[in-house]
Amino acid sequence: MLDRNPMNGPTVSKKDTQQPYPGTDDAMHRKADHGEESYQGCGKLTGLAAVITGGDSGIGRAVAIAFAKEGADVAIGYLSEQEDVDAQETRRHVEAAGRRCLVHRFDVRSQSACREFVDLAAKEFGRLDILVNNAAYQMEQQGIEELTEEQIDRTFRTNIFGYIYMAQAALKHLKEGGCIINTGSVTALEGNPGLIDYSATKGAIHNFTLTLAQVVSEKGIRVNAVAPGPVWTPLIPATMSPEKVATFGEDTMWKRPAQPIELATSYVFLASADARYISGEILAVTGKGGTR
Interval 135-190: pLDDT, tens: 999 998 889 999 999 999 999 999 999 999 999 999 999 999 999 999 999 999 99
Alpha-carbon gap, residue 178 to 176, rounded angstroms = 5
Residues noted as catalytic: 198
- Whether the link from the prior residue into 22 is cis, omega within 30° of 0, is yes
Summarize pLDDT for 178-226 with one digit per residue, the tens.
999 999 999 999 999 999 999 999 999 999 999 999 999 999 999 999 9
Candidates 3.40.50.720, 3.30.1540.10, 3.40.50.10490, 3.40.50.300; correct CATH number of 46-285? 3.40.50.720
Question: Cβ(257)–Cβ(232) under 8 Å?
Answer: yes
pLDDT of residue 20: 60
Sheet holding 222-228, edge to edge: 101-106, 73-79, 49-53, 130-133, 179-183, 222-228, 282-285
Residue 129: helix, strand or coil by DSSP? Answer: coil
Q: Find, among 55, 23, 69, the residue nearest to 134 by Cα.
A: 55
Closest C-alpha to 129, from 144, 118, 142: 118
* pLDDT, the chain, mean: 91
Radius of gyration over alpha carbons of the chain, in Å?
A: 17
Give domain limits for the chain.
Answer: 46-285
Q: Is the pTM of this model over 0.85?
A: yes
